[in-house]
Amino acid sequence: MGKSAWRKDGAFPPLPLVHTTSVIEQPVDLNTLSKRYAKYADGFIANATANKKPWLLYLAFQHVHIPDFVSPEFCMQSRRGLFGDAVEELDWLAGQVIGSVNQHGARENTITFFSSDNGPWTIEHLAGGSAGPFRDGKGSVWEGGVREPGIVHWPGTILPRIESEPVATYDIFPTVLKLAGVPLPADREFDGKDMMPLLTTPGATSAHDATCIFYWKGCSNNKWCGVHAEESPLVNKATPGLWAVRCARYKTHFVATNESCTVHYMPKGYYQTTPLIYRIDEDPSERFPLDPVLNKQEFDAQLKIATEAVTKHIASLDEVVNQIGRGEDSRIRQNGGSAFCGCPNQTFTSSAKPSCLCDPANMNAFVCPSDRTPNFTTAATRWGGETSDVLRRRQLSTDAVFFHASSSSSSEEKTGQKTEEHPKQPLSAAAGAKPNVIMFFVDDSGYGDWGMNGSPSTQTPHVDALAAGGARFTQWYTAHAICTPSRAALMTGRLPIRYGLASTSSGGQSVFVCRSDMGLPKSEMTMAEMLKKEGYRTHMIGTYRRLKSKAAATGLDIIRSQCTYNSPFSLSLSLLRFLLSL
């Protein structure tokens, strides 16, 4: 990042912090961002709780997407370098939000989800994350690209444990709606499954065992591919749409890459004459595929199961416009290539843009160096007057009480031994109450970036405590190996292929950017929209991906956000449509 967090060559604009559609600072001072997020999250939680309204908070962290940045208080604190500093600042922010939930009396009526949009961006090497024991990373359907950290936390309702059954990010949608008493629309296919039976019933298995988990990286035929017809498997056998499927304990790759994501951002996929089938529970690193000769009976049986599942799944898809392939909005490009003007230039006055406030001093705000020796003991690094290490230890002990405290029976007090805490019936079913919902969504984080999953070089006490007090999943899958479709699935409960958001597999555009001419179809219904109708207060803080907005921003509360364009700090005029209800 050099001496400035922002490029000065005009390739990418120095981007703003936005409140709804108003720019409040441009460029944003990145050193203050985490503290601001914590402040606004606390205010939202306090207000909604005081007004006895159920609420949804979606916190889409800007960390740990490149270019990494951190506040001075976290600079040079992690053994993992600048990337680790960013992970630890994110952990602090998560702890602040959970602390607010406790402070405002919402602890036992709040369900919290924690995961990442896709795997680590391994092509960035030390600036990317770690997939832990899994193969490859972002952009790949190997486990490292789609198997993420996953936590579900609900004190008194979900029994703390390590959960090895597979679930997916898009399972959050039907889980939350059912808890809120909202039926799923009957006019469309949903891929997500309600997680509560798995989370509250001893011995329950994954609902995906009966339906499989599908991994797309392109369109399914040349009509759907639109301007990127070369990405269709009917046109170019080297770039097929559906790459892999997991059914129960087996994962079948119909397509595989010959290059690692450490050397290519979106490696091309090639049809396998003989599909690769892995016993994924036994071989999570995907190193030893079944031998089609030595394991013939097992191989043939699993290939039949996978092929039949894929055939049934594809038959359930409707033909839709490929949004990813629509390219750019020429009007935005004509107005300077970005949806927002860039500082210090204030010449744009189009009514299509919000007012632009310039803060040129922020162009030269503090930037933590990426090539440096960590300083673990500096007393100058402080949050609220305490050194980072001291504060982390204090907060860890506080969080341990917060996450694990439960009422003690008289027998416990006498013997000093804890009895097993059994989960209660979910509140929505027990008393008609609607639970609050927090969704923590990290950007480009791998399974191995967190202490709970064995990271040896990052301290993440708050996220680790969240995991220790809830269900920590070892097999949590995202909908896609790239950000835009992954985040769309989170909010719709449906695989992105169903509404034209499965990224092209090579060559063409793979995500939405600030000048994209594309969006989530208006026919799609999102979690925020549906909860809003049920009386929920909704709020989004963090990064978002640009999609065309609806004609009217119905039910909009407040958004403080940015959209990603090869940087976690770019922002679009058109608010992300599935967050318009936030």
As a three-state string, the secondary structure of 120-133 is: CCHHHHHHCCCCCC
* Strand-pair partners of 438: 57, 112
Residue 11 confidence (pLDDT): 55
Residues in contact with 27: Cβ distance below 8 Å, sequence separation at least 6, in sequence order: 5, 6, 14, 15, 16, 343, 359, 362, 363, 569
2 within domain boundaries:
no
Rounded Cα distance between 571 and 33, Å, is 14
Burial class (CB in 10 A: 0-12, 13-18, 19+), 84: buried
DSSP reduced 3-state for 433: coil
CB 64 within 8 A of CB 90: yes
Rounded Cα distance between 509 and 516, Å, is 10
What's the token pair of residue 254?
A: 């119909």
Residues in contact with 486: Cβ distance below 8 Å, sequence separation at least 6, in sequence order: 117, 118, 169, 478, 479, 480, 496
183 within domain boundaries:
yes
- DSSP string computed for 538-550: EEEEEEE---PPP
53 within domain boundaries:
yes
* Strand-pair partners of 476: 148, 167
459 within domain boundaries:
yes
- DSSP string computed for 379-402: TT-EETTEEHHHHHHHHHHHHHHH
CB 517 within 8 A of CB 327: yes
Place of tokens 């997020």: 37
Q: How far is CA 139 from CA 243, 460, 480, in A?
A: 12, 26, 8
From first to last of the 582 residues of the chain, give the pLDDT tens digit. 346 777 665 555 667 777 766 667 777 888 888 998 999 899 999 999 999 999 999 998 888 888 788 899 999 999 999 999 999 999 999 999 999 999 999 999 999 999 999 999 988 888 889 999 999 999 889 999 999 999 999 999 999 999 999 999 999 999 999 999 999 999 999 999 999 999 999 889 999 988 899 998 866 554 445 444 444 444 444 445 788 999 999 999 988 876 665 555 566 677 788 999 999 999 999 999 999 999 999 999 999 999 999 989 988 988 777 776 665 555 555 444 444 554 444 443 333 444 455 777 887 888 888 765 555 443 233 334 333 443 343 343 333 333 333 323 333 333 333 334 445 666 554 456 899 999 999 999 999 999 999 999 999 999 999 999 999 999 999 998 888 888 889 989 999 888 887 765 444 456 655 555 566 777 888 898 899 999 999 988 887 544 333 322 323 343 333 333 322 222 222 233 333 333
Residue 255 CA from chain centroid, whole number: 25
Q: Interhelix angle for 388-404 vs 461-468, to 10°?
A: 10
What letter represents residue 573's amino acid? L
396 within domain boundaries:
no
What is the value of pTM for the model shown?
A: 0.84
- Report DSSP state, residue 360: G
CB 232 within 8 A of CB 497: no
DSSP reduced 3-state for 329: coil
Domain that holds residue 47: 17-374+439-579
CB 411 within 8 A of CB 419: yes
Number of domains making up the chain: 1
CB 543 within 8 A of CB 60: yes
Strand pairing category for 17-19 and 147-153:
unpaired
Rounded Cα distance between 464 and 236, Å, is 45
403 within domain boundaries:
no
Residues in contact with 569: Cβ distance below 8 Å, sequence separation at least 6, in sequence order: 5, 6, 15, 27, 28, 30, 62, 562
Helices (H), 416-460: 427-431
Report phi then psi at 387, rounded to 5: -65, 155
Place of tokens 């891929």: 191
Strand pairing category for 242-247 and 213-216:
antiparallel
192 within domain boundaries:
yes
Q: How far is CA 258 from CA 135, 238, 271, 381, in A?
A: 13, 11, 11, 45
Query: Long-range contacts of range 387-391, CB-CB < 8 Å, 24 or more positions apart?
Result: 388/73, 388/74, 388/77, 389/77
Rg, the chain, Cα only: 23
Report phi then psi at 264, rounded to 5: -150, 130
Q: Which candidate, 252, 240, 241, 248, places its Cα nearest to that of 300?
A: 252
Place of tokens 């770019």: 570
DSSP reduced 3-state for 266: coil
Residue 507 confidence (pLDDT): 43
CB 158 within 8 A of CB 152: yes
433 within domain boundaries:
no
Q: Is 116 left (phi over 0), alpha (psi -120 to 50) or beta?
A: beta
Q: Interhelix angle for 172-179 vs 483-492, to 10°?
A: 20
How many CB atoms are closer than 10 A to CB 373? 8
Rounded Cα distance between 85 and 78, Å, is 5
Residues in contact with 555: Cβ distance below 8 Å, sequence separation at least 6, in sequence order: 529, 532, 538, 580, 581
Residue 30 confidence (pLDDT): 84
- Report DSSP state, residue 456: S
